[in-house]
Structure 1
Amino acid sequence: MIHFENVGLRYGMGPEILRDLTFDIPQKSFQFLTGPSGAGKTTLLRLLFLSLQPTRGLIRMFDRNIATIPREELPLLRRRVGIVFQDFRLLDHLTTYENVALPLRVRGKDETSYRADVLELLRWVGLGERVNVLPPVLSGGEKQRAAIARALIDRPEVLLADEPTGNVDPPMARRLLNLFMELNRLGTAVVIATHDLTLMDQVEARRMILSHGQLEIYE
């Protein structure tokens, strides 16, 4: 599904932040991306989401070389990837429900076809009573759960999550992990960037350890 070959990234004339990354994200796979702070985990997720271009190397996504994809086609490719940003990126003028439903609205779907699914997912992540609340009123943990629901609502082929349990208590972290695992069982490839060793120990999954700009993979 995703293939990196000798990928490197630098900003301007500075040193390479990521270098010689060669790995695959197979279909229906589940993996944790971990490593020390500043190792480049968020940068790697941005490459996976196509919001950054590498300075060298090959990235293939869904059998296409991203270097040859016309810029206007990138948003269509991105729709096949769900992402949970560490800073949530909710729209403050939209309610919790409207934020979660936004990917479906952008695709032109009729609300009658998705309203029940959005409400059910919000209940599952513990936001059933916060449907009509605006993001400035939500706590950090609630914003995190809303961002996760938004990433999941369109059943992406790949889910990228940047510290998705960083603002929730352990029971909710386990509940969210179960949600990611269920999505994976339904066919979505999952990549979770986290520092949480307790979380990783709850699942038998591949670990991708990023350190000093390079990646080691443990199956």
Structure 2
Amino acid sequence: MIHFENVGLRYGMGPEVLRDLTFDIPKESFQFLTGPSGAGKTTLMRLLFMSLQPTRGLVRTFGRDISTIGREELPLLRRRIGIVFQDFRLLDHLTTYENVALPLRVRGKDETSYRSDVIELLKWVGLGERVNVLPPVLSGGEKQRVAIARALIDRPELLLADEPTGNVDPPMARRILSLLVQLNKLGTAVVIATHDLTLMDRFEARRMILADGRLEII
């Protein structure tokens, strides 16, 4: 699904913040991306989402060399990837339902074609009773699940989740991780960036450890 080969990234004329990254993200796989704060986990997630271009090396996404992809083609490829940001990025003036439906509205889909899917997905993440609630009323865990539902509504082949449990208590963190494990069993590849070793120990998954700009896979 995704292939990195000798990838490096630097900002401006500074030193490389990521270097010599070579790894694959297979279809339907599940992995944690971990490492100390400041190691570059979010930067690597941005490379995976193609919102950053590497300074050197090869990145293939869904079989395409991203250095050859035109700007007009990138949005089409990104639709195959769902992403959950650390800060949720919900729109406070839109309801839970409207936030989740937003990617489909932006694509010009008629609401009759997706309304039942949005409601079903909100039930799946445990928010069936919060459909018409605005984000300021939601708890941190509820906001996180809205963000996850929004990332999933377009049925991505790959889900990137950047610290999806960083703003919730341990029981909610386990619930969120369990939801992502269920999603993976339905066929979506999942990459979760986290520094929570205790949480990772509860789940069987490949670990990609980022430190000093380099990646080790165990």
Give your verdict on TM over 0.5: yes
Counterpart contact for 2:30–2:184, Cα < 8 Å: yes
- The alpha-carbon deviation at position 174 of structure 1 amounts to 2.1
Q: Determine whether 1:24 maps to 2:24.
A: yes
Deviation string 1:114-141 (CA, Å, 9 cap, x unpaired) is 2222122223333333222222333333
Percent identity (aligned): 87
- The alpha-carbon deviation at position 152 of structure 1 amounts to 1.3
Structure 1: distance between partners of 2:137 and 2:53: 36
Structure 2: distance between partners of 1:145 and 1:167: 11
- The alpha-carbon deviation at position 217 of structure 1 amounts to 0.2
* SS at 1:72 equivalent: coil
Structure 2: distance between partners of 1:111 and 1:36: 43
* SS at 1:126 equivalent: coil
- The alpha-carbon deviation at position 103 of structure 1 amounts to 1.5
Aligned runs of 1:153-192 on 2, under 5 Å?
153-192=153-192
1:140 maps to which residue? Answer: 140
What runs of 5+ residues in structure 2 fail to find an aligned partner?
none
TM-score, normalized by length of structure 2? 0.95
Deviation string 1:37-88 (CA, Å, 9 cap, x unpaired) is 0000000000000000111111000010000000111011000000000011
Deviation string 1:163-205 (CA, Å, 9 cap, x unpaired) is 1111223332222222211211121110000111222112211
RMSD over aligned Cα atoms: 1.3
What runs of 5+ residues in structure 1 fail to find an aligned partner?
none
Structure 1: distance between partners of 2:40 and 2:171: 28
Structure 2: distance between partners of 1:142 and 1:185: 23
